[in-house]
Amino acid sequence: MLAEYIQKALENAEYKKIEDGTWFAEISGFEGVWANGKTVEECRKELMEVLEEWLILKIRDNDPIPQLKGAEIGIKEVAA
């Protein structure tokens, strides 16, 4: 569930090469989720790690998580 959601979110990432020659990426709708790397692949890997940590904090704090077409994430409570 988490891996599928992350992959869907990464499909919406926007990358750009900045003046110092490194790459910057962010995902619209995911405030505070961004990464920077020497290569596009390094930037993507960093973005994936940042997104994963961001999602874990959102789940822990029961904060809203952006909806993505074709992927959902959340915790379902089950009666004990």
Contact 64, 57 (CB under 8 A): no
pLDDT at 72 (0 to 100)? 75
Contact 57, 50 (CB under 8 A): no
pLDDT at 74 (0 to 100)? 65
Give me the residue label for tokens 């890997």. Answer: 45
Side-chain-facing half-sphere of 54: CA atoms under 13 Å: 21
Contact 9, 48 (CB under 8 A): no
* Each residue's pLDDT tens digit, 25-65: 999 999 999 999 999 999 999 999 999 999 999 999 999 99
Q: What is the pTM of this model?
A: 0.86
Domains along the sequence of the chain with CATH? 2-60 (3.30.160.250)
pLDDT at 75 (0 to 100)? 66
Side-chain-facing half-sphere of 73: CA atoms under 13 Å: 25
